[in-house]
Structure 1
């Protein structure tokens, strides 16, 4: 299934990007305050390459010797490549991941042998612990810790300060063994830099890192944490995938990369860290101390207000001799999280179909913040089926708990085509009959349109053809060109207007 060789580290993936004409180095000095984000956004909106800023200019005017890499996953092609497959194979990979989540028993020896790739994938999740690693070629601890040496961007004019946006934050449960990487949580949480050795860890209550922190805090102890900057693509994408709580993102990265994760013991905290990363910030998250995080520009296109989150004290910075700092921005789509979300939507479709078999296709429009709206096509067979699908999505699948609008269409409609959606809504939906609304349901507290933080309504539109008891009228017949007429037109155009032939 894997179409590309494993990328053991970020640099291996950058080599692939360069080899396919998707990498550009910028030698001109570019300030990390606002300007770098402006350049990144302009390139991303044009479907452009990975950018390496060779001479970042820090907030105090100094030039950093540490290059900044941005737009790593600025196209769906690169996200798929980071997963090891082509865009055309995403659904196949999704089916494979769905089978890993809920494997069915083998049907005879032939079927068992056909599942060897799955067994191999399971074996690749076992980490290999190393004694030394590139990420620890240089170590700064104690008074030498200085976060200002890292060219962390201030992305938007209203931001409170420098913000780390592409960290893989590693934690483990209180009482667990530091050697048991299968218990680790890896999440992408933004980290606000306060000073030379302190930062703010913004993890929301429902995230795995926050759950681990609560366990350590109940025992009155700080939480050991490793903030990994510039991990390999499999680790980066595993940390962003909505995996089951029982699956460690760090070990699952081996399934995606096709090779065992290489880990090394951290220098000052009881954790294992990726051996091939660019930079690791080691530290302890206070069980009691908080600081106001924000405001910062968010994926909604608005600034979120300042709120208290835990403070982390950095005890060591380890890195390669010539480290790269990986960064991105979040804002109103398009941004990298929205592009990654679009790819993950394709990966999730087989799992969603396993829960709701009548679903044929699903689209989460990136412009709707990638999850606030869903368009679903179904194989409709009975009255009320569209409403059942809406309620199943909201109730059965946690990733749709913040989706406040669902449009259900028939399987003759392309759910990712706005013209198709508009036609279905205009000709198959009656507002007095086909709209379902519910109140006081969970919602992202960053949704400023909701009447109360964390609670909002949801709306569903049944834009399917009405059948049976759903209507008392005879339904219209959809006009379609006959196949033989379409073939005649194609043949004629190939001969007379070849530039317009399909």
Structure 2
């Protein structure tokens, strides 16, 4: 069974010698990025900075965790699997995308384990949770209390990088696409209770935002989970079907229901075992300049307009851990996650195109920008068909510029 919380995972990593505690003071202004970058490049351990320091010299109120998923082995271990077993997750996702009826009794019996796992997907709601041991509302809401890092030179403000953003569409009872969606979107700090919400149009949160704008007048409720359990973190970056909530998929990964608790100020539910939660609303009409920030390409993004997230409450454990990462030229943590998720993509694409032999997203392609595909070619123009299929099948490949078949 996968780990129940981030803390149980860290305890297991420490027992394996894969967690390094750093007691020396380290600045949140670029120093954590540089240490993280060097350790990741040599396949080093997860890093727990116990004495992080704000740029103004204030000691941080909580430790900072980085390089959590810095190796493919740690990603697999987070799910209690070996790296070579990750492809089985893709096969499970392919089945959930397009389940085929069994052809006979034997095949029906073979599907029983999948059915049992599916029964475990439904989240379970609890009344009390560790993530709400401390509740800050009103004037007490202050992002300055969190050790939010500055990753690269000349960036305009600290950046929340590993927040799992939870949203729902306007009619979850009628539309499966409006059920809970989880995504990782970077958030530029604008003030004590405001951030920018940088979600691209093809992502689930942005689509909820668009449907909410079309159906309602009030801002979109949202919650940002910092330091969720490993299964929920990985579900948030996995291409699950639009009709399946990432909470349900996280339960499938854990083979146990995800424990959720109702937020204090918005009509959403968040993982009970989380470290920190930011509750609030995303404006439907207030946009701000976001960026420039360092990106996968090794260059800074252009400044663009994105909606404002206004925070109504911060809830946390009594002794929270702040999870962070950085984005830059590969190798970085997102590129390591991309390599691991490549094993998940293969069964999904093969479901639509069985002639595909193998599929690879090279890290040098900077997050989906280059795809390499091998096929069993059967006719003239076959490669062109596969190229068009790759570009259209999964939203993740919207930004793929080169497909080599």
TM-score calculated relative to the size of structure 1? 0.77
- Which residue, out of 362, 385, 388, partners 1:388? 385
SS of aligned partner of 1:392: helix
1:182: Cα distance to partner?
Answer: 7.6
Q: Does 2:84 match 1:84?
A: no
Aligned counterpart, 1:68? 64
- Which residue, out of 293, 306, 310, partners 1:309? 306
- Which residue, out of 150, 161, 174, partners 1:165? 161
Q: Does 2:345 match 1:348?
A: yes
1:388: Cα distance to partner?
Answer: 3.1
> Which consecutive residues of structure 2, in runs of 5 or more, have no partner in the other structure?
none
- Which residue, out of 209, 215, 221, partners 1:224? 221
SS of aligned partner of 2:334: helix
Q: Does 2:258 match 1:261?
A: yes
Is the contact made by 1:48 and 1:74 (CA closer than 8 Å) also made in structure 2?
Answer: yes
Task: Give, in whole Å, the separation in 2 of the partners of 1:232 and 1:6.
Answer: 9
Q: Does 2:119 match 1:123?
A: yes
RMSD across aligned positions (CA): 1.7
> How big is each residue's C-alpha offset from its partner over 1:327-380, in whole Å with a ceiling of 9 and x where there is no partner?
000111111111111111111111211211121111111011131112222223
Over 3 Å counting, the alpha-carbon distance change for 1:197 and 1:398 in structure 2 is: closer
Aligned counterpart, 1:19? 15
Runs of 4+ in 1 over 4 A off after TM superposition: none
Q: Which has the higher contact order (CA 8 A, sep 6+)?
A: 2
Is the contact made by 1:33 and 1:59 (CA closer than 8 Å) also made in structure 2?
Answer: yes
Over 3 Å counting, the alpha-carbon distance change for 1:195 and 1:374 in structure 2 is: same
Q: Which range is displaced more, 13-22 or 392-401?
A: 392-401
> How big is each residue's C-alpha offset from its partner over 1:154-184, in whole Å with a ceiling of 9 and x where there is no partner?
100021110000010011112446xx99811
- Which residue, out of 354, 370, 375, partners 1:373? 370
SS of aligned partner of 1:170: strand
Aligned counterpart, 1:300? 297
1:13: Cα distance to partner?
Answer: 1.2
Task: List aligned pairs for 1:248-287, cutoff 5 A.
Answer: 248-287=245-284
Q: Which range is displaced more, 285-294 or 139-148?
A: 285-294
> How big is each residue's C-alpha offset from its partner over 1:388-446, in whole Å with a ceiling of 9 and x where there is no partner?
322332344443332222222xxxxxxxxxxxxxxxxxxxxxxxxxxxxxxxxxxxxxx
SS of aligned partner of 1:401: helix
Aligned length: 402
Aligned counterpart, 1:51? 47
Over 3 Å counting, the alpha-carbon distance change for 1:181 and 1:370 in structure 2 is: closer
Aligned counterpart, 2:401? 404
Is the contact made by 1:356 and 1:389 (CA closer than 8 Å) also made in structure 2?
Answer: yes
Q: Does 2:30 match 1:31?
A: no
Is the contact made by 2:197 and 2:309 (CA closer than 8 Å) also made in structure 1?
Answer: yes
> How big is each residue's C-alpha offset from its partner over 1:275-328, in whole Å with a ceiling of 9 and x where there is no partner?
010000011122222221111111121111222211111111100110000000
Task: Give, in whole Å, the separation in 1 of the partners of 2:402 and 2:8.
Answer: 40
Task: Give, in whole Å, the separation in 1 of the partners of 2:396 and 2:302.
Answer: 24
Q: Which range is displaced more, 82-91 or 232-241?
A: 82-91
SS of aligned partner of 1:337: helix
Is the contact made by 1:158 and 1:297 (CA closer than 8 Å) also made in structure 2?
Answer: no
TM-score calculated relative to the size of structure 2? 0.95
Task: Give, in whole Å, the separation in 2 of the partners of 1:401 and 1:188.
Answer: 17
